[in-house]
Structure formats: structure tokens, C-alpha cells
Structure 1
Amino acid sequence: MIAGLDHVQLAAPVGSEELLRGFYGEVLGMTEIAKPAVLAARGGCWFSAGAVQLHLGVEEDFRPARKAHPGILVRGIEAFGERLAGFGVDVTWDAALPGYRRFYALDPVGNRLEFLEPERLPS
């Protein structure tokens, strides 16, 4: 039986690690986590925030994910959207999912990210 989700992996172009560190670390506020040595040689970088892990792996023939995306739960979505906009990230709000406030943004290599917060917190 499925017990949970360990991580989500997105692709990135070769040599984009510093750009990704700036975005996922500074802009999103995630913490970089060390990749195991055997995997570090492949490039890319991994990040975490709470129980969420996001792995970015390099691909020679990289194409950004424009439709596929991780859905990242946040608290204080209005302030979080303002934070991203303050860093120059284009934030696109979408009200099409009942029960949630959400927006989409692109990471610096063009991958689509969804940020969402339930309108009512579970009791």
C-alpha cells in the first residue's frame, strides 16, 4: 500500500544549479539538502521545507514542465504570493479549484509550480 510521497523531482538544464539554489533557497525559503555522494556526481540539487522534498535533476535535452507540476501547500498564501512577486516572479492567481486559494509561478528554468492553501483549515 502507498504510505506517502517521499519527494517530487523536476528536471533542469545542465549547469543551472546556482540559479536553482537562488530561487528555491532564497526566494521560496527552502533548505538545500545534501545529495548522496553517488548521486551528487550527476548534478542537480535537492531542497526541503518541512516534510516536503523537491529534487531537481539535470537533463541534457531539458524541456521545462509547462503542464505537469508539483502542488505545494503553503500557509499565508497572500503573503507568500507577495514575497514571490517582490523577487520579480510572475504570480498567476487561479480561482478554479473550489475550497482553495492558489496561484501558479514558473521557476527560473521554466518549470510550472502550483502553490495552494485550503480556504478552511482542517479542525
Structure 2
Amino acid sequence: MSRYFEGMEMFLHHVQVSGPAGCEDAMRDFYVGVLGMTEVDKPERLRARGGAWFRAGSAEVHVGIEEGFVPARKAHPGIAVGAVAALALAVGQAGAPVTWDESIPGLRRFHTTDPVGNRLEFQQAQR
């Protein structure tokens, strides 16, 4: 417990990844067309910034436009899914890399990248 703040329950609302100007259509193709997420309308005041927001279940990924964009090599969202093997198959069929990682015993997971190189982790949801 924090010595500065009496804790409260917290939930992750979204993660933001970045991309270069003009990447929105490629990101839509991947996040909607491959991953099966739904695009979420951005608030009117934020639309001029570009980018796009996506949601599946309680997971949201926001794509922000960043001048001089370079994808992070290690930072990534970790998203639990109901059928990780089926998602890996779809991701691979779409031409994105699928790298299985067995370094955590009992956890089935893989890493991939989106069209601009953001690293993503998908793992089998634990029931």
C-alpha cells in the first residue's frame, strides 16, 4: 500500500501505441480486419490529431500519431484472449509475424507487430 495515498480499486482502461502520420488505414486493416476489434469513434475534439481507437471486450488500444515515430523495441500491451492459438493463426495468415514465447511455464502466449512495428503480446486468458 502506498504511504502517500489510501489505495482504491483501479482498472486498465486503454493502452496507447503510436504510429506515423497517415498510418490510420493500415492500422484499421490490422486491428479490425485481422484482430477483430471494433473501431471506437474518437471524441470530436481529438479527431484533428489523427490516429484511431479500437476495442474488443474490455481491451482498448488507442493509436496516436507521433512525429518522428520509431516503434518501441520492448514496450508492449499484453492482451488476454479466449483462443490464443486461433488468433495466432489469423495473425500469421495475414502476414504478420507470430513468435511463440514459452518462457513462463503454463502460459501460452505469442508476440507480433502491427503494421508500423509496435510490439503486441497476446496470451491465453486464464480461467
TM-score between the two structures when normalised by the length of structure 1: 0.93
Deviations 1:15-66 (A, max 9, x none): 1000100000101100000000100110000000011111000001101122
Aligned residue in 1 for 2:103: 96
Cα distance in structure 2, aligned partners of 1:92 and 1:85: 10
- How many residue pairs match? The answer is 120
Q: Secondary structure at the match of 1:46?
A: strand
Aligned residue in 2 for 1:64: 71
CA RMSD of aligned residues (A): 1.0
Aligned residue in 2 for 1:48: 55
Q: Gaps (5+ residues) in structure 1?
A: none
Cα distance in structure 1, aligned partners of 2:28 and 2:86: 21
- Pairing of 1:26-41 with structure 2 (within 5 A): 26-41=33-48
Identity, in percent, stands at 52
| 1:85 and 2:99 matched | no
Cα distance in structure 2, aligned partners of 1:79 and 1:15: 30
TM-score between the two structures when normalised by the length of structure 2: 0.90
Q: In the TM superposition, what is the alpha-carbon distance from 1:97 to its structure 2 partner?
A: 1.4
- Following superposition, which runs of at least 4 residues in structure 1 exceed 6 angstroms of deviation? none
Amino acid aligned to 1:97: I
Q: Secondary structure at the match of 1:83?
A: helix
Q: Gaps (5+ residues) in structure 2?
A: 1-7
Question: Which of 44, 65, 75 is residue 82 of structure 2 equivalent to?
Answer: 75
Amino acid aligned to 1:59: E
Cα distance in structure 2, aligned partners of 1:7 and 1:77: 20
